[in-house]
Amino acid sequence: MDLSGKNVAILAAEFNTKLVTAMIEAASDEITQSGSTVADVVRVPGAYELPLLADALLERDDVDALVVLGYIERGETLHGEVMGHVVHAALVDLQLEHRKPMGLGIIGPGATPEQAETRKLDYARAAARAALKNCALLAEH
């Protein structure tokens, strides 16, 4: 399956900057190693702000797919869990509305900092591969 030649945007939350920056680097590496291009990297304040910018990026003609990265940590209340459900649902709806693949690399909700640290690179790379693979699959079908 050819995963090259695609323009992939990366959208990431600024919250937990150090962790998410490492995720951006891993996703970018995965995209470029596949022979595709990172069309843009956009940072938003937090996970709640991801859907609005995801919509704007998916509208662009120069974006074939989107990789969304972030971390919704475990808190003392259910705020993160509720936010995670809302954000995930909105992102799935946008992917279907725009008919462009999205790789979801959001750790959590409910992950501890230790869990996030362990998962960050694998989640980012898997999200990039998923977006690219779905681009290829959509082209075939």
User: Is residue 26 within 8 Å of residue 85, measured between CB atoms?
Assistant: no
Which residues are CB-neighbours of 135 under 8 A, at least 6 positions away?
3, 6, 64, 65, 101
Separation of alpha carbons 90 and 55, rounded Å: 10
Active-site residue, selected from the candidate residues 79, 88, 98, 141: 79
Is-catalytic flag, 141? no
User: Is residue 62 within 8 Å of residue 101, measured between CB atoms?
Assistant: no
The angle formed by the CA atoms of residues 68, 52 and 99, to the nearest 5 degrees, is 65
Structure tokens at 14: 């600024």
The residues assigned a catalytic role are: 79
